[in-house]
Chain A
Amino acid sequence: GAVVSQHPSRVICKSGTSVKIECRSLDFQATTMFWYRQFPKQSLMLMATSNEGSKATYEQGVEKDKFLINHASLTLSTLTVTSAHPEDSSFYICSARDSTRDTGSEQYFGPGTRLTVT
């Protein structure tokens, strides 16, 4: 089955620093990847849609200058949380869709990254 990996699985950083999270599709190509944020006991909230070779599409209320997304290849998207603050502490999950299939096809989710900002 299709596998999506994330790195790191958990990270602790100091307030004011930047953190980069990687999302990789391991056995398929993904022109589109999605970044989600999840708070405790809540469901996933879409932050942005990452498109290979073009700018990401951000959801309303998500600061594009704070959450930088780069999708430089068909198997890798990165999310950089810039100038992190404690309120950015959350569980970040990415997903990817096989680019050879239609938009209704399954999105495969990564295992998530736990970010803690101290």
Chain B
Amino acid sequence: KNQVEQSPQSLIILEGKNCTLQCNYTVSPFSNLRWYKQDTGRGPVSLTIMTFSENTKSNGRYTATLDADTKQSSLHITASQLSDSASYICVLYGGTSYGKLTFGQGTILTVHP
């Protein structure tokens, strides 16, 4: 069964600090993995995309890693800002004909001043 598990469920950090969010998956076949940021009451917005052959990719203060052997990914946020407070969702794109996605439950990040 395709599954995506994220940890922690929630995280509170102080502004300026770094944090790392984890994602473990069992999706097969694997097309790519994306991290999304979802602000409260808004739709998800893509932060990074990782394909099978990529180990790390950065987008500003966001750095995603992928270990295809252990089926783990992480999202590292550097120098957090208050605007980083949101839900971060790990999403697996599989190679099915309908292009269905498998969503993690998300990590709710709260950044305090």
Give A residues with C-beta under 8 Å from B: 4, 6, 32, 41-44, 46, 49, 57, 91, 93, 95, 97, 103-107, 109-112, 114
Task: Contact check, B41 vs A91: say whether CB atoms are below 8 A apart.
Answer: yes
A44-B44, A112-B42, A114-B41 given; A103·B96 CB < 8 A: yes
Chain B residues with CB under 8 Å of A57's CB are 98
| 16 additional contacts (CB under 8 A) given A104-B95, A109-B43 | A6-B43, A32-B98, A42-B105, A43-B105, A49-B100, A57-B98, A97-B99, A103-B31, A103-B97, A103-B99, A104-B31, A104-B93, A104-B94, A106-B49, A106-B93, A112-B41
Give chain B interface residues in 63-113, CB to chain A under 8 Å. Answer: 89, 93-101, 103-106, 108
Q: Mark B5-34, 1 if CB is under 8 A from A, else 0.
A: 000000000000000000000000001101
Contact between A49 and B89, CB atoms less than 8 A apart: no
Instruction: Summarize A's interface: helix, strand, loop or mixed.
Output: strand
Closest to A103 in B: B99
Interface residues on B, range: 20 to 34
Closest B residue, CB atoms, query A94: B43
Given the known inter-chain contacts A42-B105, A43-B89, A104-B93, please indicate yes or no for A109 contacting B45, CB distance below 8 A.
Answer: yes
Chain B residue numbers with a CB within 8 Å of A46 are: 100-101
For residue B46, CB closer than 8 A to chain A, the reply is yes
Q: Give bound CA distance, A81 to B25, whole Å.
A: 33
B43 interface neighbour in A93, A97, A104, Cβ under 8 Å: A93
> What are 28 A-B pairs with beta-carbon distances under 8 A?
A32-B98, A32-B99, A41-B108, A43-B106, A44-B44, A44-B89, A46-B101, A49-B100, A57-B98, A91-B41, A93-B43, A93-B44, A97-B99, A103-B96, A103-B97, A103-B99, A104-B32, A104-B94, A105-B99, A106-B34, A106-B49, A106-B93, A107-B99, A109-B44, A111-B42, A111-B43, A112-B41, A112-B42
